[in-house]
Structure 1
Amino acid sequence: MAANTLILLGGMDWLEKSMQASGLVDVASVYKSRNKLTKPLFKLQYHTKLLYRYRHVWYDDWKNKLNQYRTVILFDAFEDTDIIEYIQGRFSKIRIIIYYYNPIYNSSLLNRIISAGVEVWSFDIRDCKEYGLMYNPQFYFWNIVFPEKKSKDIKAKSIAYDLIFIGKDKGRMPLLMKLNKYLKERGISLFIGICPDKETRYSSECKQFFIKSIPYNNYLDYLKRSRCVLDIVQEGQVGLTLRIMEALFYNKKIITNNRSIQDMKIYDKNNVYILGIDNRDLVEFIKDSKCEWDEELKKQYIFDKWLHRFFDIQYDIKGL
């Protein structure tokens, strides 16, 4: 099915390791590591299109092994079409798939990608309908593999928080602060950790939530010790986020502002609370009995299924 397939990522360590551990594909980072000296040169070349045709010098070692592959799946970890052009110029018969793992904001780049004649897929069904792309939903793994250099994963057992949110701000701070105030006044224990946006000015009240970026296995320690996961999507996004997958696979309840989830197979009233739609008591929902997700549902979102859909034209995505 997926033999001779290479997946190119932007260097997301746990994701790369977990894909590779499946044994179904080869995985590589798009670009080679850069130091303090080469990082500014890299940015200069990409933002100015300086020496455009020599950008391949920044690509990692996968560029020397392209003859081994029939299919290359490139995640949206790029800012131009040079990688596509590089592959097409050397091995025109390689099937190139662009997979958008995030919402599409640069329609100009997307149009150039489509004009290059490659397949474009997305995790977000709304983007697929708007831009005429193919749909393949979010995915996760039965087992996450971490790089050895990271700290060991702690098998946390006791519940320490009723609700957690850890992530980048991306304009979500006002709603997070409002929810934090509302729930704390009602005896809900929260952990909210926000990585601030660089260009945003924050009040001193906001800064109490600031954290530095943490390794993914450390984040999962917080997740395992919580009852619920808070999922705040950006305006216009309907695709299921990584937080939803984490809640599903670790049997946590979901509180989300993604209204489209009610039309998906994953929607279970016992496990999902939709902000702005639900009229149930939010505190009671959080404090309610232990959450368990259907094992058959989880199987629809594993990495193997996600990969299979690229090679099966009859793939079933209804409700996913």
Structure 2
Amino acid sequence: MLYIISNFESALTQFIFAGLQRDDVRLIQYHSKPATLAGKLTRWLEVQFPKRRLDWYYPAALRAQLDGIGPGDSVLIFALGNTKDMVLLGKYLHGKQVHAFLWNPVLEHNTPQGIAKALERLTAIEQLTPSIYSFDRADVAQYGLLYAPQPFRHMEAGDAPAAAQSPPTDFFFLGYDKGRLPLLMRLKQAADTLGLSCHFHILPDAGKTYSAAEQAMLSTGYLSYADNMALSQRARCLIDIVQATQSGATMRSVEALFLNKKLITTRQLALQEPDYNPSRTLVVDSSTAIDCQALLHFMQSPFVPASDAIRTEHEINTWLNRFI
């Protein structure tokens, strides 16, 4: 049996694992952040005794689930990386066959403090298990990790119903600014020139000052993952602008793969991916002008769907085989 420990109340995790169709997998819900001050204090106290199981912090139901993991079972810690969580889980998973999957790059912020925190998190996971997987090939090479692609799920009719109030569009982007706004503005200008439509839902960064032209591009209000999928289905092409610390395939690129959408990305390593096809993916430079003719050619070229074999590598039911 494979036991997966994660926060399955997260919208994206919940969506992906809703496609699970296996009898040899059990899900264990894990809340990483204590909900109360008393919870924070109890967790802090228990972490001070990393070698002793005190049973102070985890509720009885969670302790029972962890105790139910047998010696022949496997465990996957999915998208958890808090240092305190690793110490606590280590008390209950000692001697078990444990794997971990990192759903973010090891280094999320390229600052001295960010580097120190990233190495602290990775060290805590390494103390729990040497079997650590990442979707980011650069992290795999730099930190000696194992590679696993981004997981996703096949979608059936009705899984993400089209947004009835949203007309079809050529380009769709959803996310925070995070330095992406200049490229999105250039892309919008190029699309307008070519008579193509855009639906950009760009949320402002906290505390940042924007010009009037930039403010005109910004949106307000959070969109759920269901909204994201509905709007993605209504678009011909999804926009993927990666952060400087990420080189692995993003969730946006996997969404495009499963939704049969074109993709514009700034991730240069996309050109080296086995599923790369110029009819599906256009790689652009975030710091240069948009080539309108190249953009028009890309949008007018017939779409060649990816093979089922490529999607199978990401599909959650087969993706889990590596951990069993």
TM-score relative to the length of structure 1: 0.80
Cα deviations by residue, 1:229-261 (Å, 9 ceiling, x for unpaired): 111111142211111111111110111111111
Percent identity at matched positions? 24
Partner SS state of residue 228, structure 1: strand
Alignment-derived partner of residue 204 in structure 2 = 196
Distance between the aligned counterparts of 1:235 and 1:153, measured in 2? 30
Distance between the aligned counterparts of 2:247 and 2:205, measured in 1? 22
Rate the CA distance shift 1:237–1:42 in 2: closer, same or farther, 3 A. Answer: same
Q: CA deviation at 1:196?
A: 2.7
Q: CA deviation at 1:296?
A: 2.5
Cα deviations by residue, 1:4-56 (Å, 9 ceiling, x for unpaired): 42231363135235425514322243218976xx2x6667888xx56645896
Contact 2:257 2:311 in 1 (8 A): yes
Question: Partner letter of residue 186 of structure 1?
Answer: L
Q: CA deviation at 1:199?
A: 4.2
TM-score relative to the length of structure 2: 0.79
Contact 1:165 1:193 in 2 (8 A): yes
Distance between the aligned counterparts of 1:51 and 1:7, measured in 2? 20
Alignment-derived partner of residue 176 in structure 1 = 184
Distance between the aligned counterparts of 1:117 and 1:32, measured in 2? 18
Unaligned segments of structure 1, at least 5 residues: 147-151, 312-320
Structure-to-structure mapping, 1:209-288, within 5 angstroms: 209-276=218-285, 281-288=294-301
Rate the CA distance shift 1:168–1:11 in 2: closer, same or farther, 3 A. Answer: farther
Q: CA deviation at 1:224?
A: 0.9
Q: Which moved more, 1:237-246 or 1:67-76?
A: 67-76
100, 104, 110: which one aligns with 1:102: 104
Query: How many correspondences in the alignment?
Result: 298
Contact 1:16 1:27 in 2 (8 A): no
Alignment-derived partner of residue 16 in structure 1 = 14
Cα deviations by residue, 1:41-100 (Å, 9 ceiling, x for unpaired): 667888xx56645896367943331123322222333421x3333333234222222211
Rate the CA distance shift 1:182–1:21 in 2: closer, same or farther, 3 A. Answer: closer
Alignment-derived partner of residue 314 in structure 2 = 301
Partner SS state of residue 230, structure 2: helix
Alignment-derived partner of residue 122 in structure 1 = 134
Question: Partner letter of residue 142 of structure 2?
Answer: E
Q: Which moved more, 1:236-245 or 1:246-255?
A: 236-245
Cα deviations by residue, 1:81-139 (Å, 9 ceiling, x for unpaired): x3333333234222222211111121232123224444211110101101111111112
Alignment-derived partner of residue 86 in structure 1 = 88
Contact 2:8 2:14 in 1 (8 A): no
Distance between the aligned counterparts of 1:34 and 1:212, measured in 2? 26
Contact 1:72 1:97 in 2 (8 A): yes
Partner SS state of residue 281, structure 1: helix
Contact 2:16 2:152 in 1 (8 A): no
Structure-to-structure mapping, 1:23-102, within 5 angstroms: 23-24=21-22, 25-31=25-31, 38=36, 49=44, 52-53=47-48, 57=57, 61-69=61-69, 70-80=73-83, 82-102=84-104
Rate the CA distance shift 1:160–1:219 in 2: closer, same or farther, 3 A. Answer: same
Q: CA deviation at 1:180?
A: 1.8
Distance between the aligned counterparts of 1:42 and 1:185, measured in 2? 56
Contact 2:137 2:247 in 1 (8 A): yes
TM-align CA RMSD = 3.2
Distance between the aligned counterparts of 2:254 and 2:59, measured in 1? 31
Distance between the aligned counterparts of 2:157 and 2:81, measured in 1? 24
Distance between the aligned counterparts of 1:103 and 1:32, measured in 2? 19
Contact 1:122 1:133 in 2 (8 A): yes
